[in-house]
Amino acid sequence: MSEVIGVIGAGGKARPDSAAESDVILELRHVTKRFPGVVANDDVSLSVRRGEIFALLGENGAGKSTLASMVFGMYEPDEGQLFVRGTETRITSPAEAVALNIGMVHQHFKLVSNYTVAENIVLGDEPLRRVAGVLPWLDMRGAEQRIADLSARYGLEVDPCAVIENLGVSAQQRVEILKMLYRDSEILIFDEPTAMLTPQEIEHLLNIMRNLRREGKTVILITHKLDEIKQVATRCAVLARGKLVDVLEVADTTTAKLAAKMVGYDLALTIEKKSAALDNAPTVLQVDHLTVEDDNKFPVVNDVSFRVRAGEIFAVAGVAGNGQTQLADAIAGLAAVKSGAISLDGVDLTQMTVRQRARAGIAYIPEDRHGMGLILDLPLLQNLGLKSYFHHPFSQRGILQTEAFEHHARRLIDDYDIRAGQGPRTLTRQMSGGNQQKAIVAREVELDSRLLIFVQPTRGLDIGATMAIRRRILDQRDSGKAILLISLELDEVLALADTIGVMYGGRMQKIAPAATMDRYQVGEYMMGARASTSASASTSTNASISPNTPATSAAPATSAAPEASAAPAEVQAGTGTQQG
Amino acid sequence: MTKKKPLQLFARLLGNERWQFITIPAFSILCSLVAISVIILLIGKNPLEAFSSLLAGAGWIAKSNYAGGKAAFTDFMDMLDAFTPMLFAALAVTVALKSGLFNIGVAGQMLLSGFIATVAVGYSDLPSVVARPLVLLIGIVVGAAAGALMGWLKDRFNIHEVVSSIMLNYIFQYVISFFIKTRYIDPVSRQSRMAAASARLEITDIKIAGVTTHFPLGLVLALIAAIGIWFLLAKTKTGLELTATGLNAKSARYAGIRTGRTLIIAMGISGALAGLAGVTYYLGSVRSIIPGELTSVGFDSIAVALLGNTHPLGNIASSLLITTLTSGSTYMSSTVGVRQEIASLIVGMILLFSACGGYLKLWVQRATSEQLPDKGSESVHPRTISGQEEQA
């Protein structure tokens, strides 16, 4: 309570100074928002100054999104007042917020996928002209020009004529930013903007925020990533369980201090890790010359070989889209293997179905939690039994045993600290992202498999949940499991790995013990800059392709087509083994 | 604010989630009846009279007079004649929808199984003890084969089930029309020859208290099927695999479910139910096949399944409602002078209003909790926050 008063005091400090007073663009006074049975925001008072980057920091469920949603008119506060540019305002809808020059980029983008960038941006605010004074005419050309100008001014690098479905996540986000700028937004709210971006894209976004600030815009950044705050924000409000803990000048504080404020106690940001004794450890997963093609016959995983031993965390680093997801899918049996072999404890799995592999000892925490890891419209208890529903005690003679599911779910909820409002019967869709991920991890770890594949296990989670999952991964390693960890976050790879593999362009560029690689070396391999292995790899590709070309072109002439195509196949195999 | 009060009271009335599955459809039906009353008033008739004559026509209430040997009971049994295949067909659509598939080929599957059963058993001299079970068996097997074929086409060649079932509808319709016209035609009625009474799934000429009536044998089976399908979907391993595949095929595959096989099983079960609808229709109340025509039951069943909230037991209620409307409409048009098509209009209205059921649910949710359910971020969901509170 004393902290809250302290903050009001901080707001009060600005008041006597009339110049500073006019600087405050947005002020919340004693704002409280309740949901049935819960206080989401409890007597929060803070002010945001014109032209600053103001961060809202807090764990999942701390109330930061609710707070921002009230500014954007999605909720109305139950108590307290909202001042925009010094006048008390009630914002009852997003439309009103837009009229007040407030814009928001949501976590989930709201774009029409088969429209162009410009069409999406003008939607709802179309530039109409009257041809010959009467005929309404949509001036797309002018809009495109204006968007191109805005894009150049803020360094957004967006082509107004591109179609949304052809753009990546990062570009779509920049379209959302353009949408706000097009509507002359002065206060721009970003809700967890970096959750889905790669390190490079995050860097780009932070630069954009700096540009916005330079041009006089005010940015409200909702995040739980401390280093981003440290990099761009001027001030930072820390929320915990709906209450404002403190407002800090970012320049005067450290990330450790921010983290401590956020969780309410000092949190170890690094994990103690015993070094693994791997010399005599048996190989659990062996991947040999694995090639996986996508729908366009492009080798997204190209001749990848590695092994993971018992008690080892093999971490795959790499920028998004370099074949990591497909590698994991192929091992789990979800992507078709073009060539190569996968074996577990010496048993060849390559021809096995997904279930056979799971029963042979593969647990898989996939990247796509909503699309793959869970069935959101089923209750939690069925999701927790998704990998074991078909056998005893969950099924008996084809009939599901509800008590077994319930018992299993209750145990996992307790053991893994999964928070679900209505216990095992909670609809999975209604759970928070962190708890959904905990549920997946709980289900997969409980399978007690020889190999656990984790893909992006902590993406979008708050620090508490992240640390819990990382500790869980280490526990599994220490109990002798083989772990394949695929992560886009270099910090995660460096914190957990015993061995690091770096993927670039579908190839495993480098495999080395974690102790022998530093951040910058890994980074270079991730960007494909260190071409030592990739050069030899590309020559081998050429070698295998060049004999192929005359053979296929000769095929119609010689009629001995099957033999002709068989020959280069051997050559290909030959180069493959040489390379290995 | 004052205007909001009664609305909120009303919302609370509908708000109890446990009962929403019944309160919301009931409200939709009420709305459509009100709307239809307005239309009937506009054409200068009494809506109450029209509705009561509808109910009388379907045998729920007594008519003013009856021909010799008939009673409300007879009309009620007539309605159940139509109800039986409708329930089977709606269940067929429901199973498919629950598995993420749209079986629009129910009419074709009905025709195929009805035709094969008629030709193989209906024209034979088999005694009814053998003939009737055989008809049911043919219905199940032929329907399941036709359904599974569509599932297989989808799994193997990625042909969407809507496309393949519409095409197969045409193929069944015209090929069967050819055979009926060339081999099985009744020169007088221009339809297929009547199936033998011993093969029909109906006991005719029962006399109860001086009233002659009949009993659709498929009725019991249809009710058992509804309960059976509910059990299958809710309580069995296969049911979980079907629903999981229907809700999210990618997750299902990840869970180790062979989604291709599940697809074929789902379409097979759906087809078997459609086949049963076919034999209870073509060898039930209708005794012959009009060449080149698909029965409207097959298509109405889609609407009925949706009205029944794609719940097997809900289908019983919705089938009863729709068949009441359709079988009562003849009597309504003859007594009140409201044209028969009004019944179709009522059906359409009910469907229109029940399509709004989803919105109504959303609205109730908003009005009772003042909360936006479609908010993007999950972290503001009350349940999440309550979880956070537990932590505190």
Q: DSSP string covering B66-134, please?
A: --TT--HHHHHHHHHHHHHHHHHHHHHHHHHHHTT-----HHHHHHHHHHHHIIIIITS---HHHHHHH
The verdict on A60 touching B (C-beta cutoff 8 Å) is yes
- The 10s digit of each residue's pLDDT in A408-463 is 999 999 999 888 878 898 889 888 788 899 999 999 999 999 999 999 998 877 77
The answer as to whether A535 is a domain residue is no
The total number of residues written for chain A in this structure:
580
Question: Which residue from A minimizes the CA distance to B246?
Answer: A375
Question: Which residue from A minimizes the CA distance to B248?
Answer: A375
Output the pLDDT for position B369: 58
The answer as to whether A418 is a domain residue is yes
- Domain tally, chain A: 4
Question: Which residue from B minimizes the CA distance to A355?
Answer: B256
Segment among A210-214, A336-340, A351-355, B332-336 with least mean pLDDT: B332-336
The domain that contains B174 carries what CATH number?
A: 1.10.3470.10
- The 10s digit of each residue's pLDDT in B358-369 is 777 777 777 665
Amino acid letter at A270? T
The verdict on A413 and A430 lying in the same domain is yes
The answer as to whether A538 is a domain residue is no
Segment among A119-123, A298-302, A473-477, B61-65 with least mean pLDDT: B61-65
Question: Which residue from A minimizes the CA distance to B250?
Answer: A372
Nearest by Cα to A509 from A485, A494, A529, A489: A529
The verdict on A213 and A91 lying in the same domain is yes
The verdict on A401 touching B (C-beta cutoff 8 Å) is no
Nearest by Cα to A192 from A152, A223, A237: A223
The verdict on A65 and A120 lying in the same domain is no
- The 10s digit of each residue's pLDDT in A142-184 is 889 999 999 998 888 889 999 988 887 788 899 999 999 999 9
Nearest by Cα to A369 from A455, A281, A276: A455
Q: For residue A528, is it left (φ>0), alpha (ψ between -120 and 50) or beta?
A: left
The answer as to whether A146 is a domain residue is yes
The verdict on B125 and B212 lying in the same domain is yes
Is A353 within 8 Å of B258 when comparing Cβ atoms? yes
The answer as to whether B6 is a domain residue is yes
Is A375 within 8 Å of B250 when comparing Cβ atoms? no
The verdict on B223 and B355 lying in the same domain is no
Is B378 within 8 Å of A432 when comparing Cβ atoms? yes
What are the two backbone dihedrals, phi and then psi, of residue A127, each rounded to the nearest 5 degrees? -80, 100
The verdict on B112 and B253 lying in the same domain is yes
The verdict on A454 and A561 lying in the same domain is no
Q: Which residue has the tokens 């002018």?
A: A142
Q: Which residues of A touch B158 (CB under 8 A)?
A: none
Domain range for residue A228? 1-101+187-269
The domain that contains A254 carries what CATH number?
A: 3.40.50.300
The verdict on A560 and A509 lying in the same domain is no
The answer as to whether B385 is a domain residue is no
Q: Distance (Å, rounded) from C-alpha A31 to C-alpha A66?
A: 11
Torsion of CA A372, A376, A378, A384, to 10 degrees: 60
Q: Which of residues 233-272 of A touch B (CB under 8 A)?
A: 241-242
Instruction: Rank A469-483, B11-25, B60-74 by mean pLDDT and report only the highest.
Output: A469-483
Domain-ending residue, one of B291, B322, B337 = B337
The answer as to whether B163 is a domain residue is yes
Q: Is A406 exposed, middle or buried (0-12, 13-18, 19+ CB in 10 A)?
A: middle
The answer as to whether B292 is a domain residue is yes
Q: Chain B residues with CB-CB distance to A under 8 A?
A: 235-240, 243-244, 247-248, 250-258, 369, 371-372, 375-392
Is A433 within 8 Å of B389 when comparing Cβ atoms? no
The verdict on B190 and B159 lying in the same domain is yes
Q: Which residues pair with A343 in a beta bridge?
A: A286, A348
The verdict on A135 and A86 lying in the same domain is no
Torsion of CA A364, A365, A368, A369, to 10 degrees: 130
Q: How far is B166 from chain A (nearest CA, A)?
A: 28
Q: Which residues of A touch B256 (CB under 8 A)?
A: 353-355, 358, 387, 390
Q: How far is A340 from chain B (nearest CA, A)?
A: 22
Q: Which residues of A touch B252 (CB under 8 A)?
A: 375
Contact assessment for residue A465 and residue A60, using Cβ atoms and an 8 Å cutoff: yes
The answer as to whether B50 is a domain residue is no
* Alpha helices (H) along A226-338: 226-232, 255-263, 324-332
Question: Which residue from B minimizes the CA distance to A40?
Answer: B385
Which segments of A272-410 are extended strands (E)? 283-293, 299-309, 313-317, 339-344, 347-348, 362-365, 395-396, 399-400
* Site from A419, A422, A438, A449 to mutate, B interface, most B CB atoms within 10 angstroms: A419
The verdict on A297 and A373 lying in the same domain is yes
Name, in order, each residue with C-beta under 8 angstroms of A56's C-beta and a sequence gap of 6 or more. Answer: A64, A67, A68, A220, A221, A222, A223, A236, A237, A239
Q: Which residue has the tokens 């009494």?
A: B46
Q: How far is B254 from chain A (nearest CA, A)?
A: 6
% of chain B with per-residue pLDDT over 70: 88
Is B248 within 8 Å of A433 when comparing Cβ atoms? no
Is the pTM higher than 0.90?
no
Half-sphere exposure of B77 (CA within 13 A, CB side): 21
- Domain tally, chain B: 2
* Site from A72, A173, A375, A425 to mutate, B interface, most B CB atoms within 10 angstroms: A375
B21-26: long-range contacts, CB 8 A cutoff, minimum separation 24:
B21/B309, B21/B311, B21/B314, B24/B357, B24/B360, B24/B361, B25/B307, B25/B309, B25/B314, B25/B354, B25/B357
Domain-ending residue, one of A240, A269, A298 = A269
The verdict on B189 and B263 lying in the same domain is yes
Is A74 within 8 Å of B378 when comparing Cβ atoms? no
The answer as to whether A562 is a domain residue is yes
Question: Which residue from B minimizes the CA distance to A402?
Answer: B235
Question: Which residue from B minimizes the CA distance to A334?
Answer: B254
- For chains A and B, what is the number of CB pairs under 8 angstroms? 143
Q: How confident is the model at residue A267 (pLDDT cuts 50, 70, 90)?
A: low
Instruction: Rank A225-229, A533-537, B202-206, B236-240 by mean pLDDT and report only the highest.
Output: B236-240
* Site from B99, B241, B250, B377 to mutate, A interface, most A CB atoms within 10 angstroms: B377
The answer as to whether A276 is a domain residue is no
A86-104 burial, b at 16+ Cβ within 10 Å, e below that, comes to eeebebeeeeebbebbbbb
Output the pLDDT for position A37: 59
Q: Distance (Å, rounded) from C-alpha A24 to C-alpha B144?
A: 71
The verdict on A254 and A289 lying in the same domain is no
Q: Which residues of B touch A363 (CB under 8 A)?
A: none
Q: Distance (Å, rounded) from C-alpha B387 to C-alpha B385?
A: 5
Amino acid letter at A417? D
Is A60 within 8 Å of B379 when comparing Cβ atoms? yes
- Quick check: A529 pLDDT over 80? no
- If one compares A447 and A125, the residue with the highest pLDDT of the two is A447
Q: How confident is the model at residue A542 (pLDDT cuts 50, 70, 90)?
A: very low
% of chain B with per-residue pLDDT over 90: 46
DSSP state, residue A420: -
The verdict on B25 and B98 lying in the same domain is no
Is A107 within 8 Å of B377 when comparing Cβ atoms? yes
Mean predicted lDDT score pLDDT of chain B: 84
What are the two backbone dihedrals, phi and then psi, of residue B291, each rounded to the nearest 5 degrees? -65, 140
For chain A, state the CA radius of gyration.
Answer: 27
Which of B255, B377, B383 minimises the CB distance to A421?
A: B383
Domain range for residue B318? 69-337
Q: Distance (Å, rounded) from C-alpha A130 to C-alpha A137?
A: 6
Name, in order, each residue with C-beta under 8 angstroms of A280's C-beta and a sequence gap of 6 or more. Answer: none
Is B384 within 8 Å of A435 when comparing Cβ atoms? yes
The verdict on B187 and B212 lying in the same domain is yes
The answer as to whether B270 is a domain residue is yes
Q: What is the 3-state secondary structure (H, E, C) of A133-200?
A: CCEEEECHHHHHHHHHHHHHHCCCCCCCCCEHHHCCHHHHHHHHHHHHHHCCCCEEEEECCCCCCCHH
The verdict on B227 and B100 lying in the same domain is yes
Which of B244, B387, B392 minimises the CB distance to A432?
A: B387
Question: Which residue from B minimizes the CA distance to A385?
Answer: B255
Q: For residue A417, is it left (φ>0), alpha (ψ between -120 and 50) or beta?
A: left
Is B384 within 8 Å of A192 when comparing Cβ atoms? no
Q: Which of residues 103-122 of A touch B (CB under 8 A)?
A: 106-108
Helix B259-280, helix B128-157: angle, nearest 10 = 150
The verdict on B98 and B244 lying in the same domain is yes
Which of A35, A40, A378 minimises the CB distance to B247?
A: A378
The verdict on B7 and B109 lying in the same domain is no
Q: Distance (Å, rounded) from C-alpha B274 to C-alpha B114?
A: 10
- Quick check: B194 pLDDT over 60? yes
- The 10s digit of each residue's pLDDT in B260-313 is 999 999 999 999 999 999 999 999 888 889 998 899 898 889 988 988 888 999
Q: How far is A366 from chain B (nearest CA, A)?
A: 9
Nearest by Cα to A483 from A460, A507, A501: A501
Q: Which residues pair with A502 in a beta bridge?
A: A317, A510
Question: Which residue from A minimizes the CA distance to B374?
Answer: A74
- Quick check: A576 pLDDT over 60? no
Q: Which residues of B touch A36 (CB under 8 A)?
A: 369, 371, 382
* Site from B242, B254, B262 to mutate, A interface, most A CB atoms within 10 angstroms: B254
The verdict on A366 touching B (C-beta cutoff 8 Å) is yes
- Quick check: A17 pLDDT over 50? no
Is A74 within 8 Å of B387 when comparing Cβ atoms? no
Q: How far is A349 from chain B (nearest CA, A)?
A: 14
The verdict on B277 and B350 lying in the same domain is no
Nearest by Cα to B85 from B282, B242, B349, B372: B282
Amino acid letter at A400? L
Q: Which of residues 40-59 of A touch B (CB under 8 A)?
A: 40, 59
The answer as to whether A217 is a domain residue is yes
Q: Is the peptide bond preceding residue A393 cis, with omega within 30 degrees of 0?
A: yes
Q: Which residues of A touch B246 (CB under 8 A)?
A: none
The verdict on A477 and A340 lying in the same domain is yes
Q: Number of helices and strands (H, E) in chain A? A: 21, 24
Question: Which residue from A minimizes the CA distance to B377?
Answer: A107
Is B387 within 8 Å of A421 when comparing Cβ atoms? yes
- The 10s digit of each residue's pLDDT in A361-408 is 999 999 988 889 999 999 999 999 999 999 989 999 999 999 999 999
Element (DSSP H or E) covering residue A27: strand A24-35
The verdict on B17 and B110 lying in the same domain is no
Q: How far is B318 from chain A (nearest CA, A)?
A: 24
Question: Which residue from A minimizes the CA distance to B365?
Answer: A36
Output the pLDDT for position B15: 62
Torsion of CA A553, A555, A557, A563, to 10 degrees: 140
Q: Distance (Å, rounded) from C-alpha B20 to C-alpha B193?
A: 48
Beta-strand pair A38-49/A24-35:
antiparallel
The verdict on A359 and A497 lying in the same domain is yes
The answer as to whether A15 is a domain residue is yes
Is A65 within 8 Å of B250 when comparing Cβ atoms? no
Q: How confident is the model at residue A212 (pLDDT cuts 50, 70, 90)?
A: very high
The answer as to whether B64 is a domain residue is no
The answer as to whether B55 is a domain residue is no
Q: Which residue has the tokens 């096995």?
A: A352
The verdict on A479 and A448 lying in the same domain is yes
